[in-house]
Amino acid sequence: MAENKMELLDDLAIATDFLITAKAGVRNLAVAITETATPDVKKILRRELDNAIYLHDKIAQYMIDNEMYHAYDIDEQIKHDLKKADKALDAASSKK
């Protein structure tokens, strides 16, 4: 049972990191579009922005479907985040 919990924690950590990275990609592409004056480059960046938004949506939906992310229930998300913080603190203190 402990192994399954650790796998879930690993999945959660990986999915969260992937979601944050995808969100940063969306932001970076949006900024890049505003910084270029070349129509062909803007077209490519817009296409990549659409791809990045799609990827972010897929990751977020995976996390929502697997109860890793509670986008529509802030109270539940806060509880979830506090549990993750407690686990991280417990793991850090047990290594000492």
pLDDT of residue 90: 80
Q: The dihedral of CA 27, 32, 35, 39: what is its sign?
A: negative
Residue 59 in tokens: 């990751």
Q: Which residue has the tokens 């417990």?
A: 90
pLDDT tens for residues 18-70? Answer: 999 999 999 999 999 999 999 999 999 999 999 999 999 999 999 999 999 98
What pTM does this model have?
0.75
* pLDDT band with cut points at 50, 70 and 90 for residue 8: low
Q: Which residue has the tokens 């922005």?
A: 49
* Residue-wise DSSP of 26-50: HHHHHHHHHH---HHHHHHHHHHHH
* Residue of 48, 55, 53, 20 lying closest to 33 (CA atoms): 48
pLDDT tens for residues 63-91? Answer: 999 999 988 899 998 998 888 888 778 87
**Cα–Cα distance measured from residue 71 to residue 94, given in angstroms and rounded to the nearest whole number:** 31
